[in-house]
């Protein structure tokens, strides 16, 4: 009788362990996804910060360019040189170089922003993969726990049946039933 109780407890333990493993895996997967989402949002905020920095730098660069060009025109005018021919070519060349510098700086900031956005996407994707792996590991642990409980229960039930068979073969059980008035039970 004790073997049957122990078998039932082993089976119940396997079932509870299985449920616990699944629940823990879901909680771990949720935590992984939340962490990945948080890290992705940080990257997205960094990307927005880079874009804001780019806009501010562009504004400052254009103001600086205008001041520089105005100072250059004033310097030429002060010397009495005509703003045509070589002085004009020098001014145009400097304006083109300044514009290329501004555009190159903008391009670098845009590339930096795109890289951060890509890192955010990769972080979310990696988090999803890790969450799926955690769930699969939890399912495997749940199956292992359930299988262990079933195996333990079957073994314990088998031992109990063996004890009953041994008792009936030796006559111990039938003598006990005879005393109780259950003689026909065993026949």
pLDDT tens-digit series, residues 155-165: 776 666 666 66
Please report whether residue 62 resides in a domain: yes
Q: Are 152 and 11 in contact (CB under 8 A)?
A: yes
- Where in the sequence is the domain holding 78, given as residue range(s)? 2-151
Examine residue 147 and state whether it is found in any structural domain, yes or no.
yes
**Any domain includes 163:** no
Cα–Cα separations (whole angstroms), residue 57 to 10, 27, 51, 152, 153: 70, 45, 10, 71, 73
- Please give the tally of structural domains in the chain: 1
Query: Residue 183: inside a domain, yes or no?
Result: no
Per-residue pLDDT tens over the stretch 45-73: 999 999 999 999 999 999 999 999 888 88
Instruction: Evaluate whether residue 68 is within a structural domain.
Output: yes
160, part of any domain: no
Predicted structure pTM score? 0.63
Let me know if residue 51 belongs to a domain.
yes
- Asked if the structure places residue 166 within a domain, the reply is no
């Amino acid at each position: 009788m004790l073997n049957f109780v122990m078998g039932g407890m082993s089976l119940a333990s396997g079932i509870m362990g299985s449920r616990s493993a699944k629940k823990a895996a879901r909680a771990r997967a949720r935590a992984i996804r939340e962490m990945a989402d948080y890290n992705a949002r940080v990257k997205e905020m960094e990307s927005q910060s880079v874009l804001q920095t780019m806009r501010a730098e562009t504004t400052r660069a254009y103001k600086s360019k205008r001041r520089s060009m105005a100072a250059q025109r004033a310097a030429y005018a002060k010397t009495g040189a005509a703003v045509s021919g070589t002085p004009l070519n020098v001014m145009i060349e400097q304006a083109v170089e300044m514009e290329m510098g501004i555009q190159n700086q903008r391009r670098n900031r845009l590339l930096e922003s795109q890289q951060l956005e890509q890192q955010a996407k990769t972080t979310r994707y990696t988090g999803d993969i890790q969450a799926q792996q955690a769930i699969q590991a939890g399912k495997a642990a749940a199956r292992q726990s359930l299988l262990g409980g079933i195996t333990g229960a079957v073994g314990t039930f088998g031992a109990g049946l063996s004890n009953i068979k041994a008792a009936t073969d030796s006559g111990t059980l039938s003598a006990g039933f005879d005393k109780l008035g259950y003689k026909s039970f065993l026949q």
